[in-house]
């Protein structure tokens, strides 16, 4: 059984892995010795809400992808997911009067069950975007984010209608050799090598009415989740990081715009962050660094496009910042990552081709 985690450790419920044994079995692999390597047994899935550290979750998905030889394992896991994984939030969403209300509830309360997950809804020029991110980057984050993108699309089909499809899906991944599984899952245009993970669709879809809901049950669960939300310690630094990331990828990012998101004055935001031992400028710099690393490692975006996406005035400014962060240029860093990945894949192939070797 996985150990319960202390406060401050980002966790996801073990129920999010509930379909992993079935998927691995269908691919000809016994899942239980595999999961035993991570100290997870059959009993662990009896309590779907038992927390797993985010880092462990990422390691499991990475290892499952390697073991099965399925590069899109995270996609399949998300495609198989059910709304049961969000606990009683499922009943709130399914009893909403409109799709808009259901989606707003999911975006607001999902982090109560899936702590590291952040869903950000935006509306522009008649389209809605749902950006999907984690509070921190961990090994296997690409598998986790693809999984949550797929499960979010499935949840939207449950809410809006089984025949609903997004207009476009953005994935912050290199374009794979085989893209048919992604098209099959999303049933829409899928764009790879994007700065972030996002689902886009006409905003009018959110006005779809929902029939058969129970308003009294909806109100009861809403009040329960509001109370739970009030008991959850606010993570201002994490919220500001997420706001900065969203703004960087959409356009202008400064303290005034960020403070406006929290309905406070710029000086108030600076004061709160100073009390927490940081500053807006430091968080923006750290967020840019994390995004630059993610784009260099997981996409083939040219440096000029990465520079523009992160709102640097030029590629040269990005290069200077990256040298300050990592002591080398973005190009040198990307080549080093490619070399390390090549060695890891070669070692995995050698192990697979040499059964008796330990």
Sketch out the chain's domains with CATH numbers: 71-230 (no CATH), 234-346 (1.10.10.60)
| Structural contact between residues 86 and 151, judged by C-beta atoms closer than 8 angstroms | no
pLDDT score recorded for residue 210: 86
pLDDT score recorded for residue 182: 97
346, with CB counted inside 10 A (0-12, 13-18, 19+), is exposed
| Structural contact between residues 121 and 134, judged by C-beta atoms closer than 8 angstroms | no
pLDDT score recorded for residue 233: 67
* C-alpha–C-alpha distance, residues 19 and 90, integer Å: 18
For residue 289, the tally of other CB atoms under 10 A from its CB is 16
Name the token pair of 257.
């715009």
pLDDT score recorded for residue 342: 55
Which helix (H) or strand (E) segment holds residue 220: the answer is helix 215-231
- Cβ neighbors of 327 (< 8 A, separation 6 or more) are none
For residue 269, the tally of other CB atoms under 10 A from its CB is 22
> Which residue, among 71, 90, 126, has the nearest Cα to 15 in the 3D structure?
90
pLDDT score recorded for residue 175: 93
Tens place of pLDDT per residue across the chain (358 aa)? 444 443 356 888 898 999 999 999 999 999 999 999 999 999 888 888 888 899 999 999 999 999 999 999 999 999 999 877 777 888 889 899 899 999 999 999 988 888 889 899 999 999 999 999 998 888 999 999 999 999 999 999 999 999 999 999 999 999 999 999 999 999 999 999 999 999 999 999 999 888 878 888 889 889 988 988 888 766 788 888 888 888 888 777 889 888 888 788 888 889 888 888 899 999 999 999 989 998 998 899 999 999 998 989 999 999 999 999 999 999 999 988 776 655 444 444 434 444 444 3
Name the token pair of 295.
């784009």
- The pTM score is 0.81
């Amino acid at each position: 059984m996985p150990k319960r985690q202390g406060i401050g450790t980002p966790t996801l419920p073990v129920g999010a892995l509930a379909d992993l044994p079935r998927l691995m079995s269908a691919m000809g692999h016994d899942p239980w010795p595999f999961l035993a390597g991570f100290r997870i047994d059959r009993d662990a899935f009896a309590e779907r809400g038992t927390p797993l550290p985010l880092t462990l979750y990422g390691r499991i998905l990475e290892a499952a992808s390697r073991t099965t030889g399925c590069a899109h394992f995270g996609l399949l896991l998300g495609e198989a997911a059910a709304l049961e994984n969000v606990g009683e939030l499922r009943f709130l969403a399914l009893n909403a009067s409109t799709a808009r209300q259901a989606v707003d509830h999911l975006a607001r309360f999902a982090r109560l069950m899936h702590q590291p997950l952040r869903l950000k809804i935006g509306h522009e020029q008649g389209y809605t975007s749902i950006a999907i991110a984690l509070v921190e980057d961990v090994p296997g984050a690409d598998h986790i984010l693809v999984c949550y993108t797929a499960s979010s699309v499935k949840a939207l089909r449950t809410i809006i209608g089984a025949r609903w499809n997004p207009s476009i899906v953005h994935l912050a991944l290199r374009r794979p050799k085989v893209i048919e599984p992604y098209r099959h899952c999303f049933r829409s245009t899928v764009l790879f090598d994007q700065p972030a993970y996002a689902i886009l669709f006409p905003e009018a879809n959110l006005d779809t009415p929902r029939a058969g809901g129970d308003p009294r049950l909806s109100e009861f669960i809403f009040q329960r989740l509001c109370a739970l939300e009030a008991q959850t310690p606010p993570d201002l630094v994490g919220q500001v990081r997420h706001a900065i990331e969203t703004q960087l990828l959409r356009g202008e990012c400064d303290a005034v715009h960020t403070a406006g998101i929290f309905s406070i004055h710029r000086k108030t935001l600076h004061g709160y962050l100073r009390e927490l031992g940081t500053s807006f400028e430091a968080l923006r710099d750290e967020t840019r660094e994390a995004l630059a690393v993610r784009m260099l490692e997981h996409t083939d975006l040219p440096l000029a496009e990465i520079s523009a996406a992160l709102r640097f005035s030029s590629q040269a400014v990005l290069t200077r910042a990256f040298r300050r962060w990592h002591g080398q240029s973005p190009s040198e860093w990307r080549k080093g990552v490619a070399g390390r990945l090549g060695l890891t894949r070669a070692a995995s192939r050698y192990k697979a081709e040499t059964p008796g070797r330990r």
